Structures are given as structure tokens and as C-alpha cells.
Amino acid sequence: MDERDASVRIAAFAFLREKVRMYGDLLPRVELARGFNYDGQRVPLLGPQGIFKPALLPDVPLSITTVPEVEGRQRPYEDEVGSDGLLAYRYRGTDPRHHDNVALRRAYERQAPLVYFHGIAPGWYAAVFPVYVVADDQRSLTFTIQADEPAMMSPGSGRGESDLARRRYVTRVMQQRIHQARFRATVLLAYRVRCTICRLHDHPELLDAAHILPDGHPRGEPIVPNGLALCKLHHAAFDANLMGVRPDHVIEVKRRLLEEIDGPMLLHGLQGFDGQTITVPRRTELRPNREFLEERYELFRAAS
């Protein structure tokens, strides 16, 4: 891998780190397709095909993508993480000599670091980087992919037993991040990308998916009926039991907080929502589970 190629990849990873800092693990496709400027040229990070090489790179792809699931439509390629903690990434088509497959084979031979974009929902992706192609099986038309820690990015290395063990672990962590990102995406989309309390909308970088029943609870599954779309302020207040939601969707603010006198943020950001009603998804099956709200509301009352 030449110096320019390596420099473009480093710039791409720096761009993605900034986007993850801004948006979390859920990145809008429009930002990724727009990409960044390098030496006066635009470098998009993904394109219409799963194996993507921007024009600026000579012969090795920059990214690979698994498209999001769309209800009622089958994915063109069923990429999957197996029980061994490795991602099976399907060839494009059935010809091992297709130019995209040949290009990804070069990434394997040179151990070039790539970006893996996993489609979470239409228009939204989780980015994992760096990832490496660690095997190429032309019989099953499959490349094997492993993730690695950013600090270990070193083209041409990573084939030792300790490297493979570390990458297997990092790949499993990648799976967990993708599951978390999927929960956030499905909740935000169900609530039309707006806070259920204050209605802040179209700023996904300021919105979270809050669990009604928390992780670790026997019924605390990452499903939309166990989620609320909340801005970061109201998520923190909800988790701290400063703000609760009754089973009839009415908001309650902790009495002690209502009695405090402070600046406009407390007045308008928290106190003003006491007695208001949250917005809920249009589809009945996506609305908050009443039993979950009842149990969480009892926790709020006990904390108050």
C-alpha cells in the first residue's frame, strides 16, 4: 500500500471518528456519501455497491457495506457474524474474478485497513473501523472479516495468533455496538426523530433511545415498545428519576425539583413539562408497553 493510499485511509478514519463523536454509533448515510475533502478532492466513504473504492484510491477498496433490512424486501447479500465471532461477507455476484471481488482480494493480500458499514435502517449506518479481510473462500463466495482496535492499525501485519484472538474479541464487541445502534435507530424512527417530551426534532446527534426497563432487567429487551426517544437532557433526567412517565403517558417531574428556583433551563427544560403528555408513535404496536411504563413509574415514585 503506497503512502498516498495510507494517508487517505488515515484521513477517512479521522473523519469517521469525528462523526461518531457527533452522532454516536448511528451515522446518516448522507454524511457518509458526501465524505470529506482530501487534497482538493471529494472522497465519499460509500457508494451504491457494497465494495466501494473512491476514485482517489488506485486499486484497493476503502469500505464494505451491508445494506439495512427493509420490511418486505430481501437483502441482496446475507452477510452475517458466525458463532466464531467472524463476519462472513459475500462476494459481489458469483464470479470470483469480478473487479470488485478482485479489489477486495487485494485488500486481503496487503492487509489493508477498511471501514465496515452495517446498515441499521434505511439511511442509517453503524461504522466499524478498521476491519481486515482475513480469509477468502472462492468456493463459498465469501470473504471473512475481522475488526481490530484503531490503535493496532498497521497495514501488512495482524496475522499472528495473538492478533487473531484480539480481533475475534473486537469483532464480538462490534456485534454489540451494532445491536445497540439498531435499537437506537428503530426507536428514533418510530418517534419520527423527535424527543417524546420536548419535541426537539431533526437533530439525531442530540437524541437517544432510552430504555423504559433498563438493560439487565428480565424484560429490558432492546425493542421499540421498551424504548423512548429522548433528547440528552430528558434522557439524563429520566434515568436519574428526576422525571417520570405515567402509564397514561403523562409526565411527572420530581416534587423537589418543582420547588427549586433556578434559571430558565430548569423552568423551561424540566419544570414546564410537568403534567404534559408525551408523543407516541403512530403505529399502535410501536407505542410504549403499558406494563413496562407501570413498573418504571413505580421505580420513579420510590425514588421520589
Cα 159 to Cα 174: distance, rounded to the nearest angstrom: 20
pLDDT at residue 165 greater than cutoff 90: no
Secondary structure of 205-265 in HEC code, one letter for each residue: HHEEEEECCCCCCCCCCCCHHHEEEEEHHHHHHHHCCCEEECCCCEEEECHHHHHCCCCHH
Q: What is the pLDDT of residues 191-246, one digit of tens each?
A: 999 999 999 998 888 999 999 998 888 888 889 999 999 999 999 999 999 999 99
Calculate mean pLDDT across residues 53-65: 94
pLDDT band, very low/low/confident/very high, at 104 (cuts 50, 70, 90)? very high
Our CA angle for 173, 175, 179, nearest 5°, is 120
Other Cβ atoms closer than 10 A to 283: 9
Compute the Cα dihedral for 175, 179, 181, 186 and give only its sign.
Answer: positive
pLDDT band, very low/low/confident/very high, at 304 (cuts 50, 70, 90)? low
Lowest model confidence (mean pLDDT) among 86-95, 96-105, 171-180, 267-276: 171-180
pLDDT at residue 155 greater than cutoff 50: no
- The C-alpha cell at 273 is 413539562
| Per-residue pLDDT at 178 | 78
| Per-residue pLDDT at 121 | 86
pLDDT band, very low/low/confident/very high, at 152 (cuts 50, 70, 90)? low
Calculate mean pLDDT across residues 118-146: 91
Calculate mean pLDDT across residues 47-54: 93
Cα 249 to Cα 288: distance, rounded to the nearest angstrom: 9
Amino acid 91 reads: Y
* pTM for this prediction: 0.75
Q: Which residue has the higher pLDDT, 73 or 288?
A: 288
Our CA angle for 234, 235, 236, nearest 5°, is 90
- The C-alpha cell at 151 is 490503535
pLDDT band, very low/low/confident/very high, at 24 (cuts 50, 70, 90)? confident
| Per-residue pLDDT at 160 | 55
Cα 90 to Cα 60: distance, rounded to the nearest angstrom: 17
Amino acid 90 reads: R
pLDDT at residue 186 greater than cutoff 80: yes
Calculate mean pLDDT across residues 257-286: 91
Calculate mean pLDDT across residues 269-291: 95
